[in-house]
Amino acid sequence: MPLKYAASLPIWANLLPLFMRYLLFSATFLSWFTACRERSAPPSPTLPVADAVPADFQAFYQQFHADSLFQIQHISWPLPGQTTEETSEGELKRKPTYWERENWHFQRAVDFSAGEFKQQLHTVEGQYVVERISYAAAPNYALERRFMRRSDGEWELVYYADMQEH
């Protein structure tokens, strides 16, 4: 009998528990990621040396997460990327977007040493770095940031996709 009941529900009702878990996970991650709490010593983001990330990128990465003004000045506005939205059928769908300076949330350093999050970095010819941060318990959920070296030698964020299923 329960099977007949589940089959008689609209499709959005069957997907509601999945959506609620995704929403809870996203809210938890975003609140942790953008928490505005004071710390005596903020974590110093260290990048894996194994991927041969340029030394000047490591210095940029640390300052990018420590200084909000520096961060705003090192983002290509409007910033292209992706976000996730719910369709009228109740499904989650990736949507191309442009992040605006006025709505930007300061990106804080993530402490990868706790093991809750994993970071993957890929460098392309020393001019382009792709970062993927995933939740260790659910590695198919990740955010992606892409950084590029400008013509003046400075690094900047050129793409941001919020936490979504990959």
Rounded Cα–Cα distance for residues 117 and 142 (Å)? 9
CA proximity to 166, closest of 84, 89, 48? 84
**Ramachandran angles phi, psi of 150, nearest 5°:** -75, 170
Please give the pLDDT value at position 48.
Answer: 46
What would the pLDDT profile of 86-102 be if each residue is shown by its tens digit? Answer: 888 888 889 999 999 99
Torsional class of 52: left (φ above 0), alpha (ψ -120 to 50), beta (otherwise): left
Count how many domains the chain has.
1
Query: For residues 2 and 139, which has the higher predicted lDDT (pLDDT)?
Result: 139
Instruction: Give me the CATH number covering residue 34.
Output: 3.10.450
Domain of 137 in residue numbering reads as 2-165
* DSSP structure string for 37-83: ---SS-------GGGT--HHHHHHHHHHHH-HHHHHHTB-SSEEEEE
Query: For residues 141 and 64, which has the higher predicted lDDT (pLDDT)?
Result: 64
